[in-house]
């Protein structure tokens, strides 16, 4: 039986309760507050790697990246000769709108990442390239081919886009009240903020027009602006960090909150366009560090800004059959599609990795299952097989043709870019396997990547994590020692290179000074060139990072080696040394706690896990460690409480369920322990 009449799915990339909850309490996000009051809310655990195109495809399919095929931000072009933004042609499985399409439902999809080129579904699709502004407003702004389906709507939707140059001061000042003081010739941050805002408005305009003018049963709209606002301006968010200047803080400290408030106003408009029988599902793919956990530096590597992402996003579900004003525990972004299928009375695929969030429903519906929706025939609205392809396979096929002499070598330019894109996709594939605890499948990929680029130490670090997981201690020791040697060598080389570049800058500065003394004013103005070329500046940043590299992860991994080799005291000494350099790392204290547990010193382990939670109260690994430490001390109520908190934060965590079951058994709550009735226990137990 179908439960939902209509469903509106709203995606806010990077939305985080840590920012939204204070705004809601202050009355600054009233529409979200009202939605929460009439539904359920909770954290939404993300996946690794925390890269948005992969995550939003997991949300739309209920599957991990190694199953759905979207493996990063860019991919090789079909001919393998260049790169392109990731497209949905690489998706190898049906999305929720494809499943609903073949079941006779009419769908609307706006801005989903990735959704270009649009699919010919029964309904409307607007791609994630639709809203990107190109050029000044007085010039034509053509839609990219494949940006809108059906074609009859292309002209209408094109007119609804908003160019950043159309913004007036009254629309900018709520974000940057002192915007008129900024010299935009020198400071491009204001222009960046305006571009984010305008593109957000374009998506909102398209969604609101389609909701009012097109028939639909399911409608999904995705906004990327919170993520962009956060990457650009979270560093200036209160409280001021000691490395942020007071002037920058004065100018840009309100951008993130203003961005959230703007989204709340858009939410109010969207909710005003649907009736009371519509189920509304809101979610984000991950959170964003907004407090003391904000990183000071962003790694200079592909997808480096993901270090700013937090493992917990948000979810809200509200509708006629949904519980009211309750918390949702243990949700994962893989659960969204199974929950949506349940709302429509449709079976869940056994090949999906998520579960329906039954605790959201007033009366939990019956669940049916099928082996896979991919095996169900029918018009699902996807592109034909001729357009769908595996970009990794396309690149490999081209390399083979080049080797055989059938195709001319494309050279270093585009070919190297395509090779790098393929490399990153392989790396992300390995990390997706790791996140699913399929380490044996990740190991050969990481070995291959490391063999090709041994100085790219992130490949070796992830391979070391795999060795640790499968218990290959001798291989782990050898690899960690190699990584330490490589980091040491690269740091020395970087220091020497920086010294040479500084000498070059001094020589150029002296030459400029001599030229100015002999030049006319006109000649001086025409000769004001930067002292460093663009490539030299990029090299300087890379060398600086290598020079100041840390050995925290190396020490962490070596402590694992020592622990496995029966040298816990040596492991603790190494961790203590690492802690002096990185005292604010929760993982450090968690590893110290694990070491104490292995040494049968649970009280000291409890203290270490407590330190990790003092840094990050929502760290589920620390909660689980604390549960184990309490259990070792026969404090089973406390163990059950901490294990339950772990499950609430991360339901897909088998060890947490095991520890909870064991604690319940010790408490003689045998039925709850045997049946894993976690939610029943959570409601009844005072822990």
Least confident among 350-359, 425-434, 569-578: 569-578
CATH (domain of 625):
1.25.40.10
In a domain, 637, yes or no: yes
Q: Which helix (H) or strand (E) holds 124?
A: strand 123-126
pLDDT at 519: 66
In a domain, 102, yes or no: yes
Single out the residue of 346, 317, 276, 345 nearest to residue 3, CA to CA: 345
Q: How many CB atoms lie within 10 A of CB 638?
A: 18
What are the two backbone dihedrals, phi and then psi, of residue 75, each rounded to the nearest 5 degrees? -150, 160
In a domain, 507, yes or no: no
Find the mean pLDDT for residues 417-445: 95
- pTM here is 0.90
In a domain, 655, yes or no: yes
Residue 528 has which token pair?
């004001």
Q: Which residues pair with 332 in a beta bridge?
A: 45
Single out the residue of 271, 461, 344, 450 nearest to residue 96, CA to CA: 344
pLDDT at 522: 52
Single out the residue of 143, 57, 129, 147 nearest to residue 97, CA to CA: 57
In a domain, 611, yes or no: yes
pLDDT at 303: 82
pLDDT at 4: 56
Position 1 confidence tier, pLDDT thresholds 50, 70, 90: very low
pLDDT at 89: 92
pLDDT at 204: 98
Report whether pLDDT(379) > 50: yes
Give tens-digit pLDDT for 405-422.
433 444 556 778 888 889
Position 136 confidence tier, pLDDT thresholds 50, 70, 90: low
pLDDT at 675: 57
Average pLDDT, the chain: 89
Report whether pLDDT(404) > 50: no
pLDDT at 408: 44
Q: For strand 287-288 and strand 326-332, is the pairing parallel, antiparallel, or unpaired?
A: unpaired
Spatial distance between the Cα atoms of 444 and 456, rounded to a whole number of angstroms: 16
In a domain, 308, yes or no: yes
Are 284 and 13 in contact by the 8 Å Cβ rule? The answer is yes
What are the two backbone dihedrals, phi and then psi, of residue 676, each rounded to the nearest 5 degrees? 55, 45
Find the mean pLDDT for residues 359-372: 94
Give Rg (Cα) of the chain.
27
Report whether pLDDT(562) > 60: yes
In a domain, 189, yes or no: yes
Q: Which domain, by its residues, includes 119?
A: 6-61+92-361
Report whether pLDDT(332) > 50: yes
Find the mean pLDDT for residues 355-363: 95
Find the mean pLDDT for residues 428-445: 97
Single out the residue of 75, 5, 121, 56 nearest to residue 390, CA to CA: 75
Report whether pLDDT(398) > 60: no
In a domain, 494, yes or no: no
Task: Name the domain count of the chain.
Answer: 2
Report whether pLDDT(80) > 70: yes
Find the mean pLDDT for residues 120-130: 96
CATH (domain of 100):
3.40.720.10
Looking at 303, 328, 361, the residue that finishes a domain is 361
Are 602 and 632 in contact by the 8 Å Cβ rule? The answer is yes
Looking at 361, 377, 405, the residue that finishes a domain is 361
Burial of 252 (0-12, 13-18, 19+ CB in 10 A): buried
Find the mean pLDDT for residues 169-187: 92
Percent of the chain with pLDDT over 90: 67
Least confident among 147-161, 185-199, 286-300, 575-589: 575-589
pLDDT at 647: 87
Find the mean pLDDT for residues 219-246: 96
pLDDT at 533: 82
Higher pLDDT, 666 or 105: 105
Report whether the peptide linkage leading into residue 31 is cis, meaning its omega lies within 30 degrees of zero.
no
pLDDT at 677: 46
Report for 46-50, 162-166, 168-172: range of highest mean pLDDT: 46-50
pLDDT at 684: 40
pLDDT at 83: 82
Give tens-digit pLDDT for 204-220.
999 999 999 999 999 99
Tell me the DSSP string of 367-387: --EES-GGGS-S---PPPTTT
Looking at 333, 361, 389, the residue that finishes a domain is 361
């Amino acid at each position: 039986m179908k439960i939902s009449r209509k469903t509106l799915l709203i995606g806010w990339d990077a939305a985080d309760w840590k920012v939204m909850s204070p705004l809601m309490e202050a009355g600054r996000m009233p529409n979200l507050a009202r939605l929460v009051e009439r539904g359920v809310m909770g954290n939404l655990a993300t996946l690794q790697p925390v890269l948005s195109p992969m995550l939003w495809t997991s949300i739309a399919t209920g599957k991990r990246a190694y199953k759905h095929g979207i493996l990063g931000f860019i991919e090789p072009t079909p001919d393998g000769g260049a790169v392109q933004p990731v497209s949905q042609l690489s998706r190898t499985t049906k999305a929720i709108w494809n499943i609903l399409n073949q079941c006779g439902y009419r769908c609307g999809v706006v801005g989903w990442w990735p959704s270009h080129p649009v699919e010919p579904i029964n309904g409307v699709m607007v791609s994630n390239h639709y809203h990107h502004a190109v050029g000044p407003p007085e010039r034509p702004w053509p839609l990219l081919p494949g940006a809108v389906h059906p074609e009859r709507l292309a002209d209408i939707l094109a007119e609804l886009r908003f160019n950043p140059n159309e913004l007036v001061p009254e629309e900018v000042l709520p974000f940057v009240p002192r915007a008129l003081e900024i010299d935009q010739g020198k400071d491009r941050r204001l222009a960046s903020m305006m571009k984010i805002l305008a593109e957000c408005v374009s998506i909102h305009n398209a969604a609101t027009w389609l909701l009012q003018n097109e028939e639909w049963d399911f409608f999904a709209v995705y906004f990327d602006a919170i993520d962009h606002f956060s990457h650009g301006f979270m560093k200036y968010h209160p409280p001021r960090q000691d490395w942020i200047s007071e002037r920058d803080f004065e100018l840009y400290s309100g951008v993130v909150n203003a961005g959230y408030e703007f989204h709340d106003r858009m939410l109010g408009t969207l909710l005003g366009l649907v009736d009371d029988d519509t189920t509304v599902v809101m979610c984000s793919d991950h959170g964003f560090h907004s407090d003391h956990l904000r990183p000071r530096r962003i790694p200079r590597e592909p997808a480096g800004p993901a270090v700013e992402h937090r493992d917990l996003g948000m979810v809200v579900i509200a509708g006629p059959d949904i519980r009211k004003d309750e918390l949702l525990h243990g949700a994962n972004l893989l659960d969204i599609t199974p929950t949506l299928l349940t709302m429509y009375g449709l079976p869940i695929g056994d090949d999906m990795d998520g579960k329906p969030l039954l605790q959201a429903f007033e009366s939990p519906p019956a669940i049916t299952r099928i082996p896979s929706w991919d095996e169900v025939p029918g018009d699902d609205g996807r592109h034909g097989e001729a357009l769908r392809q595996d970009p990794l396979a396309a690149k490999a096929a081209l390399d083979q043709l080049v080797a055989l002499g059938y195709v001319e070598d494309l050279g270093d330019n585009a070919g190297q870019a395509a090779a790098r894109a393929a490399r990153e996709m392989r790396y992300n594939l390995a990390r997706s396997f790791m996140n699913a605890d399929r380490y044996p499948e990740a190991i050969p990929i990481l070995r291959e990547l490391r063999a090709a680029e041994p100085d790219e130490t992130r490949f070796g670090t992830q391979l070391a994590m795999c060795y640790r997981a499968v218990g290959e201690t001798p291989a782990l020791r050898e690899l960690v020692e190699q990584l330490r040697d490589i980091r040491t060598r690269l740091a020395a080389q970087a220091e020497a290179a920086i010294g040479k570049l500084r000498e070059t800058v001094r020589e150029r500065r002296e030459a400029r000074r001599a030229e100015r003394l002999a030049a006319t004013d006109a000649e001086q103005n025409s000769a004001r060139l930067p002292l460093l070329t663009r490539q030299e500046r990029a090299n300087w940043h890379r060398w600086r990072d290598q020079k100041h590299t840390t050995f925290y992860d190396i020490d962490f991994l070596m402590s694992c080696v020592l622990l496995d080799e029966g040298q816990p005291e040596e492991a603790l000494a190494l961790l203590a040394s690492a802690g002096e350099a990185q005292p604010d790392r929760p993982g450090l204290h968690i590893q110290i706690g694990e070491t104490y547990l292995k040494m049968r010193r649970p009280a000291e382990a409890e203290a270490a896990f407590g330190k990790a939670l003092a840094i990050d109260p929502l760290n589920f690994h620390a909660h689980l460690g604390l549960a184990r430490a309490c259990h070792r001390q026969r404090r089973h109520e406390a163990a059950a409480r901490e294990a339950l908190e772990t499950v609430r934060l991360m339901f897909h965590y088998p060890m947490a369920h095991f520890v909870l079951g064991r604690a319940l058994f010790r408490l003689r709550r045998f039925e709850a322990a045997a049946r894993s009735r976690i939610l029943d226990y959570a409601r009844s137990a005072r822990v």
